[in-house]
Amino acid sequence: MKISWKVILLWTLPALAIGFFLWQGAFGSSGIEIGQNTASTRMTYGRFLEYLDNDRVRSVDLYENGRTARVAAVDPQLNNQLQQWRVDLPANSPELISKLREAKVSFDIHPPRNEGAIWGLLGNLIFPVLLIAGLFLLFRRSSNVPGGPGQAMNFAKSKARFQMEAKTGVMFDDVAGIEEAKEELQEVVTFLKKPERFTAVGARIPKGVLLVGPPGTGKTLLAKAIAGEAGVPFFSISGSEFVEMFVGVGASRVRDLFKKAKENAPCIIFIDEIDAVGRQRGAGIGGGNDEREQTLNQLLTEMDGFEGNAGIIIIAATNRPDVLDSALLRPGRFDRQVTVDAPDIKGRLEILDVHARNKKLAPDISLEAIARRTPGFTGADLSNLLNEAAILTARRRKEAITMLEINDAVDRVVAGMEGTPLVDSKSKRLIAYHELGHAIVGTLLKDHDPVQKVTLIPRGQAQGLTWFTPSEDQSLVSRAQLMARITGALGGRAAEDAIFGDAEVTTGAGNDLQQVTGMARQMVTRFGMSDLGPLSLESQTGEVFLGRDLMKISEYSEEIASRIDAQVRSIVEHCYDDAKSIIRENRAAIDRLVDLLIDKETIDGEEFRQIVAEYAIVPEKEKYVPHI
């Protein structure tokens, strides 16, 4: 078993202290131990004087400056045999020497030995030396530990990771799906490699590039690619590493970082999650954070101040550009703001090509089909998707990833881990009607996304799931599409109500109702899709510094608030009536599908649409056109 050096020191130092005090007790006094080897018995001072007066004392040896004596005297009780005693003398007995001389007793005075003093001196020297040596060793070893006591002198130094030649293992070829952002950043790399091409026509190198986008879209990956391509010194640090508890430390670290960068210019500084230090100044309840604001002020000065920072390019990443200080975003500091958004179907296909390089895929795998089924997935999501599929393949002991593992991985990433299948019961039949209510309403609505599959296998918190896959990426959503989505989301509750009656309606539609209410309210207050007219009555972002839910400031009167509530209710009730109408008119198709779903537990989209085409009754309204 390996014992840590810290444990050894923690046990050694107390042991040294205990040993020191024992040493002091053993050798701290001077003199000799008379009672152990030189005197077998003790004699009182009065009896000693009595023996002295009766001429029974033959010799006296005085020790410890006259405080102790070894007396050789004749003992009348032992037939006048010569015995030795130890006598403790009083402190003040100057007449004793005179009496010894008068009695003509042989006496000798022994000076005190200094052995105890020598050992005490050695103990006083050795223990502090050992203690100081132990503390020095502890201090030296802890100086290599981040945040240890040895780092006290480096407290204000920058914590940025520095690489003279950043070998991140990532190049621009490894970044896919964000071609516009790559093109912007390739110019930065060209600036660093061939600056004369731009300076010849009067162009100056940009001082900063801000990467903005949702989490997982590849902002940090782009920074690694820039470091790998540029071949210049590279500093990387997180925004939270500047801010400390003590005021002034963050600003000192910023100064130290830019000092090192200027010594290695041209170079790149990458600040991840810059919103941790770059938030708006003077915001928040009770004022701003002095430490964070001083750090931001120093950062602003270093980026574009009197001294300048020629040859230093700062790349920062954040998914919260709305909270950044306006002085940080102006030209001259961050000259470019590059949006790194979620990829479209072409971008997702390119990302899948990159992440599939080290995966063993079956011949029937279609990356295009995977890309179509994963709208809204970011690069990190797609990487995780293929990794989950590879894990499932290894668990099932297959040699290559098939579409079955891909589909199961999509379900797991989106909805959670697969649960235990439901047993045949009234609850299972009710869940089947609920899920088929979503599916058939969505299928018979013209503007709704087509059904991918319907399943009764629980995943996460859901007891059953209905999957819809959009036919194309939608950046803009029409009013008809929103109404269709609300109606489809209400299909489950409508099926419970229309088939089992109002008394048998369950809590299964709780999440559906939350989504429906949110979409209807956004239609009224943000998108102007109601009788209130084209008005935006609520801001799209809450007050991030005061708290989004803690303090909501109303931007309209109570009368308008009442009308908003009425419009939301009107939209939801209208869609709910449409959903119940579709359920009632297609009861035969639903009953047939319920029996099939309970038997198979999963129905894919093609089989579902074939059965609906046989049984479904298309309503007379033009908006109800089935996906068949």
Please list the active-site residues. 435
| CA 390 from centre of chain | 26
Q: Is the bond into 266 cis (omega within 30 degrees of 0)?
A: yes
Nearest residue to 527 (alpha-carbon basis) of 517, 538, 516: 538
Query: At a CB cut-off of 8 Å and minimum separation 6, what does 370 contact?
Result: 348, 352, 385, 406, 410
Q: Is 411 left (phi over 0), alpha (psi -120 to 50) or beta?
A: alpha
Nearest residue to 300 (alpha-carbon basis) of 333, 251, 345: 333
Q: Is 64 left (phi over 0), alpha (psi -120 to 50) or beta?
A: left
DSSP-derived secondary structure letter, 165: S
DSSP readout, 496-562? HHHHH-GGG--GGGHHHHHHHHHHHHHHHHTS--STT-S---S-SS--TTT-TTT-----S-HHHHH
CA atoms of 510 and 537, how far apart (whole Å)? 26
- What the block records as the tokens of 97 is 């020497």
Q: Are 479 and 528 in contact (CB under 8 A)?
A: no
The one-letter amino acid code at 556 reads Y
The one-letter amino acid code at 186 reads Q
- What the block records as the tokens of 275 is 């919103």
Query: 95-102 vs 45-53: helix axis angle to the nearest 10?
Result: 30
CA atoms of 246 and 248, how far apart (whole Å)? 6
Q: Are 142 and 149 in contact (CB under 8 A)?
A: yes
CA atoms of 112 and 132, how far apart (whole Å)? 34
| Tally of helices (H runs) and strands (E runs) in the chain | 22, 14
Residue 430: CB atoms within 10 A of its CB come to: 21
Residue 210's beta-bridge partner residues?
316, 337
CA atoms of 601 and 457, how far apart (whole Å)? 7
CA atoms of 332 and 361, how far apart (whole Å)? 48
Q: Is 280 left (phi over 0), alpha (psi -120 to 50) or beta?
A: beta
